């Protein structure tokens, strides 16, 4: 094992502000003040995203589950999602008894391909989930047009897209609803946690009721529930950390972009591509990712071993869900999904936590150059 200091693939940026706020919540945030930081956190997110409504949750998956449930998705329904993804949004679909229809991705954004979405629509399609992968942005204009054409809601999974902006609108603010993750790996963290956001007052009210075990705000009877709901609430202490993070959000997003520029400059000339940033858009660059050119020989495991030998954490690109769940009837592969199956094995996420130094980026880049130069 190398004696070099460890370079993590990700870790949160925690300052004295987060510690102070969490301490205050733990000391004083009870009784009448038990929702104080939660409300404050929700308001900070609404202001940042430019949305009307927000509900802090214990996870992004929980936020997705409640949003899908509020849309009435259930047994026999289908929800379209990109094949390359983490399991979370697809899992939420299965919780409701619906099927996950997996379509191919675009080779330049690694996000869902709108042309494949339209081909996969059936009479049972009840929603389309647009996941902004690694901070990269889905083609929202095309997806929203498809949604209008077929009267199907477009949902944004912006778990990885804090800081990403599509043609002047922040990721998560454009669909029927959006969800975010505040897991410890994310640009903004509450340890664990998520949030549901929407511009739709009626949908917000439905999710708010579901989030409180089915108790409506209008219900005056104590412990009377109007329907069977969920319990995906964020704690006051988590929200306190989130408030401190939100007060630093511009700084945190800016550093992510600086780190990406370091990699972009130092990897220039190698036969690979990095996260795209289309015109009129801003990438939050949650996870800096390389995709090695298909025309050269590349062994992803060899690079990950080189990282390990140099005490560097590496992270594989998400696997195609249709590969991982190939024998699961709840997951339907729509088409060959050739881009998804070609891309994942040529791609690696690079260390890009907020406090990484340029010298540490140099160490990562040196490993990449040694492996690619061998080929």
pLDDT tens, residue by residue, 189-226: 999 999 999 999 999 999 999 999 999 998 888 888 99
Report d(CA 127, CA 99) in Å as an integer: 11
- For the chain, give the longest Cα–Cα distance: 71
In contact, 165 and 49? CB cutoff 8 Å: no
- pTM, 2 dp: 0.95
pLDDT at 252: 98
Count Cα atoms within 13 angstroms, Cβ side, for 199: 13
**Domains plus CATH for the chain?**
16-246 (3.40.640.10), 249-373 (3.90.1150.10)
Q: What is the pLDDT of residues 67-86, one digit of tens each?
A: 999 999 999 999 999 999 99
Mean pLDDT of the chain: 96
How many Cβ atoms are within 10 Å of 216's Cβ, its own excluded? 16
What residues contact residue 259 under an 8 Å CB cut-off, 6+ apart?
A: 285, 288, 352, 354, 356, 361
Q: For residue 224, with 0-12 CB atoms within 10 Å meaning exposed, 13-18 middle and 19 or more buried, which class applies?
A: exposed
pLDDT at 163: 98
pLDDT at 2: 61
pLDDT at 77: 98
pLDDT at 344: 96
What residues contact residue 353 under an 8 Å CB cut-off, 6+ apart?
A: 8, 9, 10, 11, 12, 13
Averages of pLDDT over each 10 residues, the chain, 375 residues: 84 97 97 96 98 98 98 97 98 98 97 98 98 98 98 98 98 98 97 98 97 90 90 97 98 98 97 96 98 94 97 96 96 96 96 97 97 71
pLDDT at 223: 87
Nearest to 109 by CA among 147, 164, 159, 154: 164
């Amino acid at each position: 094992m190398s004696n070099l200091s460890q370079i993590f693939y990700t870790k949160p940026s925690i300052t004295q502000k987060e510690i102070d706020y969490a301490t205050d919540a733990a000391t004083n945030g009870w009784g009448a003040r038990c929702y104080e930081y939660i409300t404050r956190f929700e308001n900070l997110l609404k202001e940042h995203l430019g949305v009307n409504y927000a509900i802090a949750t214990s996870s992004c998956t929980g936020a997705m589950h409640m949003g899908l449930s509020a849309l009435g998705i259930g047994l026999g329904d289908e929800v379209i999602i990109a094949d390359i993804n983490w399991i979370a949004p697809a899992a939420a679909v299965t919780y409701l008894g619906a099927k996950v229809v997996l379509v191919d991705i675009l080779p330049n954004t690694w996000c869902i391909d709108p042309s494949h979405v339209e081909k996969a629509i059936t009479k049972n399609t009840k929603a389309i989930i647009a996941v902004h992968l690694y901070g990269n942005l889905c083609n929202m204009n095309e997806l929203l047009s498809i949604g209008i054409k077929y009267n199907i809601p477009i949902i944004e999974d912006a778990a990885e897209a804090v800081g990403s902006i599509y043609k002047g609108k922040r990721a998560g603010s454009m669909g029927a609803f959006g969800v975010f993750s505040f897991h410890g790996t994310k640009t903004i963290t509450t340890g664990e946690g998520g949030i549901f956001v929407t511009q739709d007052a009626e949908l917000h009210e439905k999710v708010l009721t579901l989030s409180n075990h089915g108790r409506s705000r209008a219900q005056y009877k104590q412990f009377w529930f109007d329907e069977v709901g969920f319990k995906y609430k964020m704690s006051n202490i988590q929200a306190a950390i989130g408030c401190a993070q939100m007060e630093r959000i511009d700084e945190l997003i800016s550093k992510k972009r600086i780190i990406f520029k370091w990699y972009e400059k130092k990897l220039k000339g190698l036969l690979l591509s990095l996260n795209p940033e289309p015109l009129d858009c801003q990438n939050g660059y949650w996870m800096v990712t390389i995709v090695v050119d298909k025309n050269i020989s590349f062994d992803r495991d060899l690079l990950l071993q080189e990282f390990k030998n140099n005490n560097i954490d590496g992270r594989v690109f998400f696997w195609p869900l249709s590969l991982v769940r190939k024998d699961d009837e709840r997951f339907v592969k729509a088409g060959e999904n050739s881009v998804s199956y070609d891309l994942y094995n040529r791609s690696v996420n690079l260390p890009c936590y907020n406090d990484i130094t340029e010298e540490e980026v140099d160490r990562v880049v040196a490993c990449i150059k040694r492996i690619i130069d061998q080929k």
